Amino acid sequence: MADIAKAALCCFGNPMIDMFLTLPQSAYDQVHAVSQGKSHLKPDLFDQLLEVLHDRYPESIHHLRHVVGGGAVNMSRLLRQQHTGVEISLSGAVGSDESGGRIADELQLFGIHTDFQVVDDHTGRILYIAYLSHGRYAGFEAIASPAAARTYPGNVHFDVSGSDVFVEGFFPDGSGLRKRIGGAVDPGHIVILDLGSRSAAGEAASLLHAVCRRKLQLIIFGTQDEMESLYRIMSKQDLLEAQAVLVVKQGECGACVITRSFSHHHPAVLSQVPASEILTVGAGDAFCAGFLTVVYQEPLEYWHHPERLCAGLAAGSEFAARIISDRINLLRPSYK
C-alpha cells in the first residue's frame, strides 16, 4: 500500500443518530398505527413510537443499537479508521439534547477534530427497523425524525485555506458556507461534494460556479438521478471542461468515473450478505471513503490520473460491500 499524504480534510455535514432494531413482523401494524404511515416524524411522535415499542417489545428494545451517523460522519470516520495519516476535522450542527452532547466525544475517540454549533433543537434520529418472520427478514423500513434546524453553522471556525474540503449535500440556508468555501480554498486543493439528494444539486450551484471560476480541483459524488438534477443547473460539459471528476454511484450496478478525457465503469462487489438481508444504509458514504483512500495515496499530485481513479472505484466498491455486512450485524443481536 502506498503512503498516505499528510493532507488536511475539512468535512461539513450534520451528524445523526442511527438506530437499528429488529422486530417480529406482527409489529408492523403497531408501528404504523403510531407513525400514521409516515416516514418522517416530529420529535414527540418519534419518542411516542419508541415508548410503545419499549412497552410491547422490551426484549427487542433492549438490543436497540445506536450509532453516530450522517454522510460526513460516516465518510470521515471510515477514512480515518483506514488511514491515520489524514488529519480530519468535522463541522456541523448538533442538538442541545443528550445525544448531541455525546457525538463530539465519540468522534474524538476516532481522532476526528470536531467543531459543532449547538442549536436549540433535538439531534436528528433515524430508526431502521427490520421485520422478522420465521427466522427470515420480511422487510425493512426507515423512520426519521430530522432536526428542524437543518443548517450548517454560519460561523466556520476551521481555516479551510490550506485544506481539502468535503461537503455532504446542501441546505437552503447554507449560503454562508458556500461563500466561505468557494472563496477561501487555496488553488491546488480539492473540493469534494457528495450531493446526497436531488434537491441538493440545485442548492450546490453557487459553490460549483465559485469552485470552477477559481479553477479548484473538484470531485462530485452522486447517484444517476442526482447527477441529472445537477446537469440541469450546470451542464455536464461545463463541469468536465472545468476539470471536475464525476463519480456516479449506481448501487448494485457498480459505479463509474467520468472526466474530460476518459470514463470507466466498475461493477459492484458482491456482498456475502443474502439478498433478502441487504440493508444499504451508509453504503454510499462507505463508497466515498474507499474512493478517497486511493485519492490520498502518495504521490498526491497524481490523484486524478486514470489508473488512480479506476483504483478508487474498486476500493469504493469494496468499502460499500463491507459496510453492508457491518449494518446487518447491528440488527442480528435482536433476533427473536
pLDDT, tens digit, for every residue of 40-72?
898 899 999 999 999 999 988 888 888 888 888
* Segment 114-140, tens digit of pLDDT: 888 788 888 889 898 888 887 777 777
Q: What is the pLDDT of residue 258?
A: 97
Nearest Cα neighbor of 111 from 81, 139, 141 is 81
Report helix, strand or coil for 147.
coil
For residue 48, CA distances in Å to 39, 127, 141, 145 come to 14, 13, 18, 12
Helix, strand, coil percentages (3-state) for the chain, rounded to 5, are 45, 25, 30
- Cα–Cα distance, 130 to 136 (Å, whole number): 10
At 148, the amino acid letter reads: A
Q: Enumerate the β-bridge partners of residue 87.
A: 8
Distance CA(69)–CA(75), nearest Å, equals: 9
Cell numbers that stand for 47 in this block: 419518542
Q: End-to-end distance of the chain based on CA atoms, in angstroms? A: 43
Does residue 307 carry a pLDDT above 90? yes
Residue 9 has pLDDT above 70, yes or no: yes
- C-alpha 227/C-alpha 236 separation (Å) is 9
What sign results for the dihedral spanned by CA atoms 270, 323, 78, 114? positive
Which residue is listed with cell 404504523? 32
In this structure, the chain runs to a length of: 336
Confidence band of 1 (pLDDT split at 50, 70, 90): very low
Q: What is the pLDDT of residue 174?
A: 47
- Grid cell, residue 88, equals 480530519
Rounded mean pLDDT, 20-48: 90
Confidence band, pLDDT 50/70/90 cuts, at residue 327: low
CA angle 101, 147, 203 (to 5 degrees): 120
185-212 mean pLDDT: 74
| Beta strands at 8-12 and 87-95: parallel, antiparallel or unpaired | parallel
So what's the pLDDT on residue 264? 96
Q: What percent of the chain has pLDDT over 70?
A: 77
List residues bridging with 37 in a β-sheet.
none
Select the CATH number that applies to the domain covering 8-16+69-121+148-334 from these four: 2.120.10.30, 3.40.1190.20, 3.20.20.70, 3.40.50.2300: 3.40.1190.20
> 9 with 163: CB under 8 angstroms?
yes
* Mean per-residue pLDDT over the chain, rounded: 80
Say which residues have a Cβ less than 8 Å from residue 94's Cβ, sequence separation at least 6.
14, 15, 100, 101, 103, 104, 116, 117, 118, 119, 123
pLDDT at res. 3: 46
Where does 170-276 have alpha helices with state H? 175-184, 198-203, 205-213, 224-233, 236-241
Of 165 and 24, the structure prediction assigns the larger pLDDT to 24
Judged against a pLDDT cut of 60, whether residue 215 lies above it is answered with: yes
Q: Decide if 126 contacts 142 (C-beta within 8 A).
A: yes
